[in-house]
Structure 1
Amino acid sequence: MRVSVAGAGLGGLCLAQGLRGAGIEAEVYERDEAITARFQGYRLVLNPAGFEALRGCLPLRWHPLLDAIVGDAYGERLILDPQLNRIGELGPGRTGIVVDRHVLRHLLLTGLSVHTGAALSGYEVLDDGRVRARFVHGAPATADLLVGADGVNSAVRAVLSPQTVPADTGVRFVIGRTPLTERFAGLSRAFGSKIAGDGVSLLLGAMRFRTPPKEAAEQLAPEVTLPDIRDYVRWAMILPPGGSLDARSPRDAALSMMEGWHPDLRALIEQGDPDNSALLSIRVVQPRQRWSPGPVTLLGDAVHATSPTGGNGANTALRDAGLLRRCLIDAAEGRQDLLGAVGDYERQMFEYGAEAVRHSLDALPAFVPDAKPQPARHCR
């Protein structure tokens, strides 16, 4: 069996690693010109299902390395004012495993065949039931299955399920990261909490590695090369629905909303990494009507992009990877035909994927200042 994976995000790479470990050929095609074309180094919280799916797709020999480069998530989930005074609670404390996306992506890339600059332009199902993917540049690729793991703007989804389009929630946010120095360690009660300002909310999360990733790889898995990253604070400022951001830098955009805030909070943003901050919109993709059975399917944000306030986007993509891997192993070992295996995956994925999107949207108002119910705007 041969599988083509469109998209070198966490979900697609996790699937490719899992298939590789099971002896199934998998090639990854990424539209970016280079793996490092976009920095993707923000802290993620993995729940037990997401973390176990990840472990299940990785070689056993890398499990000690994975355990060494993650951290522990904890926090009171308070609501604080801009002077760090407690004014409420968000809900029960959240626990889990925290991981840096940039570090995890480098681990998942190890040993895989990844073709960069491979923007998919379309595909066709051949007479023999296989699928041929076409790219803007380069030769086409023929496989038994094409997996669209190419994100919220999925080119695979545009062909497979053109009626499924992203919806813009209207919410905008600024995200960045700052080294976790001694000064910012004093903000620990704000990690996992919401700081409620005038028309904005600031969310902070600490990424504390059990072992610095580069050192952990050198000690535990020399064949893996991981970035030299140290502990940091991930910060995200959420604006009200319909808010806009001008052409200023993300740091300046955040600071412009923080007049009179606690000096440590302003310093945190001022000392942020300018190369790892961005102005983003929150869009979702809701899985609706299933497409006709065939040798093409979707995974992760391509089919169920969630609001980050749900904390389940990466977890659901990793769960997809683990489930599709198991289904394809059944097909490769003759317990199921390929279309039946893909159908089993899609039935389960549609159910929990739709629930993940609903959960993330239900959680959004708690983090959005002055949020008022409004219909999501569809966009292409």
Structure 2
Amino acid sequence: MKVLVAGGGTGGLCLAQGLRQAGVDVQVYERSRTRIERLQGYRVHINPHGSAALHECLPPDLWQRFVETCGKSGDYRFLTEQLTELLLIEDSLTSGPDAASAHHSASRITLHQVLSAGLADVLHYDKEFVRYEQNPDGTVTCHFADGTTATGDVLIGADGGNSRVRRQYLPHAERIDTGITAIAGKLPLTDEARRSLLPRLVEGPNTIMPPKGCCMFVAPHELGGGVNDETFAHNEVLFDNTQSYVMWAFAANSGRFPPGVSSMDGDGLRDMVSGLIADWHPGLRALVADSPGEAVSLLPIRTSVPPKQWATTNVTLMGDAIHSMTPFGGIGANTALRDAQLLYRNLVEVAEGKRSVLDAIGDYEQQMLVYGFKAVRFSLRNAHQSVSEAKTGRVMFKTVLRMCSVLPPLKRAMFGTHGE
């Protein structure tokens, strides 16, 4: 059996690592011309689902490299915009007993390095997917922009939110704008920055909850002592994964931002956010104001709409290509990794003669549509609640957080699976 994967992102590469370990012929086709062309330099939260998938699909040496290069874990806090603590969720409450069932803070750049390591004969760059055709003999052929083709028994569309595989295969599957915009940035943790930042902003992740209408997420990425690739150690802060940093993301309904926000450069975006949080705690204002403009980005927030069920074939989709979701909840990458783990198991059974291709893919799609769009709905609900203009709802939620703070059983019941 030969498996073709269109897209070399988190899910596609994790799947490729697992299949390669199992001896299955897998080939990944990535449109980027090089490994470093389109990498974003912010942290990504890996939850126990994602950790379990990486542990199962990666070879032992790469799993160890992943663990060593993750940032240090920390307790999660809900804070007001004046940094008054509403609730502390201890890391021990949500993590399992070992690294394979724990939460991790990973650099997107470093995670991509780990996932692509050892795949020189599998991962093909500068291969822009154009279309596919299903052949009379049951195979599928991919056509690329450079005029080349590749033929296999299965095609996995792992080509992101703007998936061309999805556009051809499921033209009815929509991805829509949520009406929410986020501005994200990061501040390198130099000695000077460590002296000036409040400890609570570098001790662990924080959700900042003002009275209404917007929110902010702040999280440190403290390197854990692992070796990072010096390829990225250059002046563009956004692409540097050799230094610890604190990332922040401010989100609000798009109407709260001035016209022309989409054309602003990093300096302009940073200064605009500084104005929007002018009455917040000085520590938060300093975090934003001191962040270099080249590390600030505009992030329109989009989400997938659950598609109608389709007939299973030897073409399927994974990750953002089918269940793109908002970043509110930090579960998008983990859901893609969960896809990879399930597809890996099912396709290995095909290679071993234990089931047919259609049975394996049909079973994957049936499970994926349930947990994938449950995650989509969860993240979308979080997104709308986080930027709600209803002050009453925000007050009620803060009251619940304070109750959890003084009632440990209630906190365990409500937040024992936080981030999953």
Q: TM-score range by the shorter chain?
A: 0.7 to 0.9
User: Are the equivalent residues in 2 in contact too, given 1:74–1:192 (CA < 8 A)?
Assistant: no
Cα distance between partner residues in 2 of 1:191 and 1:16: 31
Cα distance between partner residues in 2 of 1:65 and 1:142: 33
Cα distance between partner residues in 2 of 1:85 and 1:168: 33
**Are 2:249 and 1:236 aligned?**
yes
Alignment of 1:194-209 (within 5 A): 194-196=208-210, 199-209=213-223
Cα distance between partner residues in 2 of 1:203 and 1:263: 16
Change (3 A) 1:199 1:227: closer
Change (3 A) 1:256 1:162: same
Aligned equivalent of 2:398:
none
Change (3 A) 1:145 1:47: same
Cα distance between partner residues in 2 of 1:188 and 1:197: 23
Aligned equivalent of 2:77:
77
Cα distance between partner residues in 2 of 1:194 and 1:13: 33
CA-to-partner distance for each residue in 1:342-371, whole Å, 9 max, x for gaps?
A: 111111111111111111112223321526
Aligned equivalent of 2:375:
356
Structure 1 residue ranges without an equivalent (≥5): 217-225, 374-380
Aligned equivalent of 1:213:
227
Per the TM alignment, residue 261 of structure 1 is displaced from its structure 2 partner at its CA by: 3.7
> Given the alignment, which residue of 87, 91, 105 partners 1:98?
105
Change (3 A) 1:167 1:228: closer
Aligned equivalent of 1:154:
163
User: Are the equivalent residues in 2 in contact too, given 1:184–1:268 (CA < 8 A)?
Assistant: yes
Per the TM alignment, residue 74 of structure 1 is displaced from its structure 2 partner at its CA by: 3.4
Range 204-213 or range 294-303, more displaced: 204-213
**Are 2:143 and 1:134 aligned?**
yes
**Are 2:130 and 1:107 aligned?**
no
Alignment of 1:1-380 (within 5 A): 1-81=1-81, 83-86=82-85, 88-89=86-87, 92=89, 95=94, 96-112=103-119, 113-180=122-189, 181-182=193-194, 183-184=196-197, 186=199, 187-188=201-202, 191-196=205-210, 199-214=213-228, 228-244=241-257, 245-248=261-264, 249=266, 250-370=269-389
Cα distance between partner residues in 2 of 1:153 and 1:215: 29
Change (3 A) 1:93 1:283: farther
Q: TM-score, normalised by structure 2?
A: 0.79
Per the TM alignment, residue 206 of structure 1 is displaced from its structure 2 partner at its CA by: 1.2
Per the TM alignment, residue 264 of structure 1 is displaced from its structure 2 partner at its CA by: 2.9
Cα distance between partner residues in 1 of 2:382 and 2:316: 28
User: Are the equivalent residues in 2 in contact too, given 1:194–1:367 (CA < 8 A)?
Assistant: no
> Match for 2:52: what amino acid?
E
> Match for 1:147: what amino acid?
I
Q: TM-score, normalised by structure 1?
A: 0.87
Cα distance between partner residues in 2 of 1:371 and 1:114: 48
CA-to-partner distance for each residue in 1:250-304, whole Å, 9 max, x for gaps?
A: 3233223232443332332233243333101111113422322211100001111
Range 169-178 or range 35-44, more displaced: 35-44
Per the TM alignment, residue 198 of structure 1 is displaced from its structure 2 partner at its CA by: 7.3
Range 326-335 or range 91-100, more displaced: 91-100
Per the TM alignment, residue 327 of structure 1 is displaced from its structure 2 partner at its CA by: 0.3
Greater percentage in helix: 2
Q: Indicate the SS of the match to 2:307.
A: coil
Per the TM alignment, residue 179 of structure 1 is displaced from its structure 2 partner at its CA by: 1.3
Cα distance between partner residues in 1 of 2:390 and 2:338: 31
Q: Indicate the SS of the match to 1:342.
A: helix
Cα distance between partner residues in 2 of 1:260 and 1:294: 56
User: Are the equivalent residues in 2 in contact too, given 1:202–1:236 (CA < 8 A)?
Assistant: yes
CA-to-partner distance for each residue in 1:17-44, whole Å, 9 max, x for gaps?
A: 1111111122211223333222322212
Q: Indicate the SS of the match to 1:71.
A: coil
Per the TM alignment, residue 152 of structure 1 is displaced from its structure 2 partner at its CA by: 0.8
Cα distance between partner residues in 2 of 1:39 and 1:337: 36
Q: Indicate the SS of the match to 1:141.
A: strand
Change (3 A) 1:51 1:115: same
User: Are the equivalent residues in 2 in contact too, given 1:154–1:302 (CA < 8 A)?
Assistant: yes
Change (3 A) 1:256 1:321: same
User: Are the equivalent residues in 1 in contact too, given 2:74–2:203 (CA < 8 A)?
Assistant: no
Range 270-279 or range 163-172, more displaced: 270-279
> Match for 2:277: what amino acid?
M
Cα distance between partner residues in 1 of 2:37 and 2:76: 36
Cα distance between partner residues in 2 of 1:207 and 1:229: 11
Range 274-283 or range 252-261, more displaced: 252-261
Change (3 A) 1:322 1:190: closer
Cα distance between partner residues in 2 of 1:72 and 1:371: 36
Per the TM alignment, residue 241 of structure 1 is displaced from its structure 2 partner at its CA by: 4.5
Change (3 A) 1:24 1:276: farther
User: Are the equivalent residues in 2 in contact too, given 1:171–1:281 (CA < 8 A)?
Assistant: yes
